[in-house]
């Protein structure tokens, strides 16, 4: 039996960072990856390829296309090239740090032993510490005729030979709205349908409304409050039938109703663990499961399901396992939603602050009023700053527009360092930049306060 200090199951963002951290601590590390390529969904079917496709779609948007089908195939092919290069980066990281990578399926045979098998051949390994980073897969509703051609899930959509002429997307979660914007930019007629009556209900209401407006301006038909009761394929057309007796037809239907943890093959009971109905494993703040020495990180650990958070979870879990000192986890995590335009936010929303009875004020900056916004031609973007009326603490930042996912990190840093609105009022930002929005929004918010409250908010 082979023995390793650390066995990491899965090589996506969470597993990658866990393995590299273990190697940096001088531990012997084995990564077990069930698929033929490392990188997990983050690199091969989710985060990187979908964002690469979005970037390529933005470059192609508005350009005259003489041969639409050929252009669409070129875009999808270019996307696959980007994924291949990023996979090579992960492989190089593992090799350079002495991490052993084995392609096969791992299952527990005990709390500290695993059987790794491939093509009917396997071996047993002993793990001092095990990190489960198996990620997630698209949830599939029963009765939906997935064929990889006319009806696809979010893993298969990038295997299409080209962007479809028309597309129905079932599910207006993060993935659904991202793909709706991307394929609309590639020229597809897109219909987005969801049973909920609000677009992205966890996003600040004003920002979500602004996104909805921009999506409709891009030609996306958004049908909220509609339930899909049946999906079928008729000839070369996908058909979605709604409870309201409407029918939606398109060349391709993308089913995007959420994700489930990849825990089926692990035989968790053999290790003394169990997953919930969505395949997620309960963990504490350090990623530790109920079994000492076994951690779960990334999508398989549940909320928030962000690649950025998964990376940090993997690193912190290994540091915890080997007693390495680390700072307290960040109190506020940034979210980036890569729609067109993109959305990013950190901290509380207005609704959350209102429900909690927190006295707050709002400062707003519009891209159309910022020189950088005029230069880039983004008149629809905006940055909303929420701060406490009594002491000026920054409580939330919400951005829609170009560069939102980058811009939000300034607010994140100030919030996590306990900063106040005074930082944005008193500091200088490069001109012309989108970062200038912070100063404009801060001054806007301060001007809303009665004179007697301004001094308190700025001290």
Lowest mean pLDDT among 53-62, 152-161, 442-451: 53-62
pLDDT interval class at 329 (50, 70, 90):
low
pLDDT interval class at 300 (50, 70, 90):
very high
Q: Which range scores top for mean pLDDT: 54-58, 158-162, 174-178, 450-454?
A: 174-178
| Residue located via tokens 């999808």 | 76
Phi-psi category of residue 433: left, alpha or beta, with phi > 0 → left and psi -120 to 50 → alpha: beta
Report d(CA 147, CA 143) in Å as an integer.
12
How many CB atoms lie under 10 A from the CB of residue 137?
A: 19
Q: pLDDT, tens digit, for every residue of 338-357? A: 999 999 999 999 999 999 99
Task: Tell me the fold of 2-138+260-321.
Answer: FAD/NAD(P)-binding domain (3.50.50)
Phi-psi category of residue 272: left, alpha or beta, with phi > 0 → left and psi -120 to 50 → alpha: left
β-partners of residue 221 are 191
| Residue located via tokens 């399901």 | 305
User: Contact 11/31 with Cβ under 8 angstroms?
Assistant: yes
Looking at residue 419, what is its pLDDT?
93
What is the pTM assigned to this prediction? 0.89
User: Contact 228/238 with Cβ under 8 angstroms?
Assistant: no
Question: Where exactly are the structural domains of the chain?
Answer: 2-138+260-321, 151-257, 335-457
Residue 52 backbone dihedrals phi, psi, to 5 degrees:
-65, -40
pLDDT above 70 for 173: yes
pLDDT interval class at 161 (50, 70, 90):
confident
Q: CA 281, 51, 80, 311 torsion: positive or negative?
A: negative
Strands (E), 136-251: 136-138, 151-153, 166-170, 189-194, 221-224, 228-234, 237-242, 247-250
Q: pLDDT, tens digit, for every residue of 32-91? A: 999 999 998 888 888 888 888 888 888 877 665 555 566 667 777 787 888 889 899 999
Looking at residue 107, what is its pLDDT?
95
The sheet that has 343-347: what strands, in order across it? 335-337, 343-347, 394-400, 382-388, 360-366
426, containing H or E segment: helix 421-426
Supply the CATH classification number for the domain 335-457: 3.30.390.30
Greater pLDDT, 43 or 371: 371
What are 276's two structure tokens?
């919930």
Return the CATH architecture of domain 151-257: 3-Layer(bba) Sandwich (3.50)
Indicate if 335-457 has the same CATH topology as 2-138+260-321: no
Give percent above pLDDT 70 in the chain: 95
Give percent above pLDDT 90 in the chain: 76
Per the prediction, the chain carries an average pLDDT of 91
pLDDT above 90 for 392: yes
């Amino acid at each position: 039996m082979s023995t390793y200090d650390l066995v990491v199951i899965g090589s996506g963002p969470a597993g990658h960072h866990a393995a590299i951290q273990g190697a940096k601590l001088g531990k012997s590390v084995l990564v077990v990856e069930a698929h033929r390529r490392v990188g997990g969904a983050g690199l091969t079917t989710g985060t990187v390829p979908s964002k690469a496709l979005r970037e390529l779609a933005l470059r192609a948007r508005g350009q005259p296309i003489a041969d639409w089908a050929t252009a669409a195939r070129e875009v999808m092919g270019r996307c696959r090239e980007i994924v291949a290069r990023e996979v090579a980066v992960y492989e190089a990281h593992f090799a350079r740090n002495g991490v052993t990578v084995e392609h096969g399926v791992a299952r527990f045979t005990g709390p500290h032993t695993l059987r790794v098998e491939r093509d009917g051949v396997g071996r047993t390994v002993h793990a001092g510490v095990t990190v489960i980073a198996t990620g997630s897969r698209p949830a599939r509703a029963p009765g939906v005729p997935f064929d990889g051609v006319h009806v696809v899930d979010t893993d298969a959509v990038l295997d299409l030979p080209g962007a479809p002429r028309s597309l129905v997307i079932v599910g207006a979660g993060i993935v659904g709205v991202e793909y709706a914007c991307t394929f609309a930019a590639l020229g597809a007629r897109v219909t987005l349908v969801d049973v909920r009556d609000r677009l992205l209900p966890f996003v600040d209401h004003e920002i979500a409304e602004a996104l909805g407006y921009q999506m409709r301006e891009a030609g996306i038909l958004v049908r909220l409050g509609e339930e899909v009761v049946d999906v079928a394929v008729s000839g070369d057309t996908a058909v979605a039938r709604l409870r309201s007796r409407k029918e939606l037809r398109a060349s391709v239907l993308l089913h995007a109703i959420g994700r489930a943890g990849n825990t089926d093959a692990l035989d968790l009971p053999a290790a003394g663990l169990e997953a919930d109905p969505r395949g997620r494993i309960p963990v504490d703040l350090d990623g530790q499961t109920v079994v000492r020495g076994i951690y779960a990180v990334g999508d398989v650990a549940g909320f928030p399901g962000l690649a950025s958070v998964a990376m940090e979870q993997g690193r912190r879990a290994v540091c915890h396992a080997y007693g390495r000192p680390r700072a307290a986890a960040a109190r506020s995590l940034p979210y980036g939603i890569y729609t067109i335009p993109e959305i990013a936010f950190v901290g509380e929303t207005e609704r959350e602050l209102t429900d909690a009875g927190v006295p707050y004020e709002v400062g707003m900056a519009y891209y159309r009023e910022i020189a950088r916004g005029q230069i880039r031609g983004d008149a629809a973007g905006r940055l909303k700053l929420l701060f406490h009326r009594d002491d000026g603490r920054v409580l939330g930042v919400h951005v829609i527009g170009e560069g939102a996912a980058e811009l939000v990190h300034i607010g994140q840093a100030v919030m996590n360092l306990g900063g106040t609105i005074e930082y944005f009022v008193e500091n200088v930002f490069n001109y012309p930049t989108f970062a200038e929005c912070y100063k404009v929004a801060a001054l806007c918010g301060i001007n809303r306060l009665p004179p007697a409250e301004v001094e308190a908010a700025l001290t």
